[in-house]
Structure 1
Amino acid sequence: MDGRDTSEILVTAYSRRYHAAALKLRVTEGGLADYPADRGGVTKYGISLRFLKAEGAIDLDADGFADFDLDFDGDIDGADVRLLRWGDAVYLYHRCFWQRLDADSFAEPIGEMLFDQAVNGGIAAARKLLQRAINACLRKAPMARTRPAFLKVDGAIGEVTLAALLWVLGYPALGMPALIAAFREVAADRYRAIAAADPSQKRFLKGWLNRAEALGR
C-alpha cells in the first residue's frame, strides 16, 4: 500500500443549464427563513421542512438513517433544515424538480420557468401554469386557421400540450416572447389568488409578484 486513499468517490455532475438555473434560484430563495405564516415551515435555500420530510426520508447509502436526517436523531425536523448545505439543496432541486419536470427537454427559458415555479409551488402547479400560458397565447390568435384547441388545465404535459406549445412558439405573432409574458402573468395571478384566499399569505405577495416578473429573464 502506498498510503493513498482508495475509497470510492461518487461525483454527481449537472449540466451547465441546470447549474445556472440553480444559482439563480439560490438568489431568489435566499438562505434560512422561519416565518410563522409560511405554510411549509422553516426553509433554507427554498427547501422547506414540509418538503424535506416528504423527500428526505431516502436512505441511498443504506446506513439505517434517512439521508436528510442530518443530525442523526431519528427524525427529520427543523434542525435538519438548518443543517442543509447548498450542495444538499442542489441535489434535491435536481432530483425532485429538474429531472421530474424533464426540464432539459423544453427550450430555454421554458424549462427554467417551470423549475422556478415547481420549487415554489409544486410540479403540478408549474405544469398547469404552462398550460394556462399556452391558452392565453391561443386567445391572442382567434383568426389563425391552424390554431389548436384550448388545453384542459390538468397539469398533464403530454402530446396535446406539447403540440400546442410548438404551435405558439412557431406562430409569427406569438413565439417565445408572448409565451414568457403569458407565463409571468398567470404566475402572478396564481400568487394573487393564494393571497386572496388566505390573508396570512399577503405578507409574501410583493416578493411573489417580483418573482413572477423575473421569470424568463
Structure 2
Amino acid sequence: MFIKSDSLPASYLQNTLQYEGGYVNRSDDKGGETNRGITIGTLQNAIQKGVVSKSVTIRSLTNDLESVRKIYNDLYYAKAKCFLIPHPLAFAHFDASVHHGVGGAIKLLQQTLNKFNGNLTVDGGFGPLTIKVLDAIILKVAMKILIDTYQDMRVAKFNSIIAKDPTQKVFINGWLNRAAMVRAWCHQQE
C-alpha cells in the first residue's frame, strides 16, 4: 500500500529547508533574490494569489516559517501534484519542484516514467495521461528504482544546465549533495 498526503507533510518542509538556506542575492544565481528557496518572483506570485499577506517580504521569510510553509504547500506541493504521488517519491518530486520549478520537476517525473516505457510527451504538464502512467508504473517498478531514476534525471539536468551555461558550475557541488541527500532520505523511508 502506498501512502499519499493531501497537504505538505512537515517532514518534507523540514528536509527541504536543510538544502534551502537563508537570504541570498548572488548575481551569478539565475534565481535572483531568494530566501529559503523562494525567489522574489514566487513571493510576488504568492502575494498576488493571496497565499501570504502583502506584508511578507523576501527577507522576512528567514523568520516566517508559516509563510514559507504556505508557499511551499500551495505553489510547489499542490501545483506539482505531489499529493498524487506516493511517499517517498512524492518528497523527491516536491524537492525538485522547489529546486527546478514545478514544470521542471514534472518534466523530470515524465522522463523518469519514460525510462519504464511510459511513452509520455515531456511537456511539464501533469495531466490525466501522466497520472495514468504513474499509477501503472508504480505497481510494476520498485520504489527504490523509481527514486534512483528520478534522482539520476536530476543529476543529468544539472549537467545540462552547466553545458548550456558554464558559469553555473560553481553550484554543482551543492546540487549534487542535495540530490544525494534527497536520495538517501527517500531510501530511509522505504
Q: Match for residue 83 of structure 1?
A: 60
Residue ranges of structure 1 left out of the alignment (5+ in a row) = 1-13, 61-65, 71-79, 139-148
Calculate the aligned-residue CA RMSD, in Å: 2.3
Per-residue deviation at 1:47?
A: 1.2
What are the within-5 Å matches in structure 2 for residues 187-202 of structure 1? 187-202=154-169
Q: Match for residue 75 of structure 1?
A: none
Identity %: 26
Opposite residue 123 of structure 2, the aligned amino acid is: D
What are the within-5 Å matches in structure 2 for residues 12-161 of structure 1? 18-58=9-49, 67-70=53-56, 80-84=57-61, 85-138=64-117, 150-161=119-130
TM-score normalised according to structure 2 size: 0.83
| In structure 1, C-alpha distance between the alignment counterparts of 2:81 and 2:129, rounded to whole Å | 17
Q: How many residues align?
A: 178
The answer on whether the counterparts of 2:151 and 2:179 sit within 8 Å (CA) in structure 1 is: yes
- State the SS of the aligned residue for 2:9: helix
| In structure 2, C-alpha distance between the alignment counterparts of 1:90 and 1:17, rounded to whole Å | 8
Per-residue deviation at 1:89?
A: 0.8
What are the within-5 Å matches in structure 2 for residues 162-177 of structure 1? 162-171=131-140, 174-177=141-144
Residue ranges of structure 2 left out of the alignment (5+ in a row) = 186-190
Measured at CA, do residues 91 and 100 of structure 1 come closer, stay the same or move farther in structure 2, by a change above 3 Å?
same
The answer on whether the counterparts of 1:97 and 1:118 sit within 8 Å (CA) in structure 2 is: yes
Per-residue deviation at 1:58?
A: 4.2
Per-residue deviation at 1:136?
A: 1.5
The answer on whether the counterparts of 2:8 and 2:72 sit within 8 Å (CA) in structure 1 is: no
Q: Match for residue 178 of structure 1?
A: 145
The answer on whether the counterparts of 1:58 and 1:67 sit within 8 Å (CA) in structure 2 is: no
Per-residue deviation at 1:59?
A: 5.0
- Higher relative contact order, chain-length normalized (CA < 8 Å, sep 6+): 2
Measured at CA, do residues 53 and 169 of structure 1 come closer, stay the same or move farther in structure 2, by a change above 3 Å?
same
The answer on whether the counterparts of 1:35 and 1:41 sit within 8 Å (CA) in structure 2 is: yes
Which of the two has higher C-alpha Rg? 1
Cα deviation 1:29-55 (Å, max 9, x = unaligned): 022222221122222111112322333
Per-residue deviation at 1:108?
A: 0.4
